[in-house]
Amino acid sequence: MRGAVNLDNVVNNMKNIDFLRFDVMGDDRGALVALEQFRQIPFDIKRVYYIFDTRHGVDRGKHAHRNLEQVLICVNGSCTIVLDDGSSVKEVKLDYPDQGLYIGKNIWREMKNFSQGCVLMVLANQYYDEHEYIRSYDEFKQSLKS
Ligand code: T46
């Protein structure tokens, strides 16, 4: 089975998290996935970025967002996403390009276990804004109370 765990089970129990499975159009030439806003992606796509060439053992993320919504897709290789909604912590492994992990606001996330050649693509509903980040875990916990 692909993935460390059944992603549906993980995300069903956490708010502001959803697991998306994209249709793959394949033939004897290979495979293709198409992503369109408000169709496969549940928001207006304002920004796309991707993370690659990560060093062995490196961890990234370690922050939450105040309002940003994103979909993470591992288009090559694999990585683990740690999700924390303030009351529970779950890990999901993304390891195939037909999987999308929707992460809404107020979720502390970390990315780790990047495989060789991993490319993690992220679609976001807002332009980059550093003020949108909550980079302190204490502040994250505090923000959940308000
Ligand atoms: C997230 C996870 C999944 C920009 O200039 N524009 C951008 O759109 C982004 C995303 C980053 N940057 C700059 C800010 C930093 O100087 O790129 C540098 C690395 O960003 P950061 O340390 O925030 O990267 P990660 O991998 O820890 O987190 C990123 C996203 O920032 C974050 O929103 O949810 O990927």
% of residues, the chain, pLDDT over 70 = 92
DSSP 20-79: EE---EEETTEEE----BTTTBSS---EEEEE-SPPTT--EEEEEESS--EEEEEEES-E
The answer to whether 130 and 68 have CB atoms below 8 angstroms apart is no
Residue type, 90: K
Ligand 1 center from residue 64 Cα (angstroms)? 11
Tell me, what's the pLDDT at 110? 98
pLDDT band at 5 (very low <50, low <70, confident <90, very high): very low
Q: Which of 47, 58, 60, 119 has most ligand 1 atoms within 8 Å of CB, for mutation?
A: 60
Tell me: pLDDT of 42 over 60.
Answer: yes
Cα gap 113→27, rounded to integer Å? 31
Catalytic residues: 63
**Residues with beta carbon inside 6 Å of ligand 1?**
47, 49, 51, 60-61, 70, 72, 109, 111, 122, 128
The answer to whether 73 and 145 have CB atoms below 8 angstroms apart is no
pLDDT in tens, 15-38: 899 999 999 999 999 999 999 999
Name residues whose C-beta falls within 8 Å of residue 115's C-beta, 6 or more positions apart in sequence: 77, 78, 79
Nearest-10 Cα torsion for 68, 114, 83, 135: -60
Cα gap 93→78, rounded to integer Å? 7
pLDDT in tens, 75-104: 999 999 999 999 999 999 999 999 999 999
Enter the tokens of residue 63.
């922050």
pTM confidence score: 0.94
Of 137, 138, 67, nearest to 108 by C-alpha is: 137
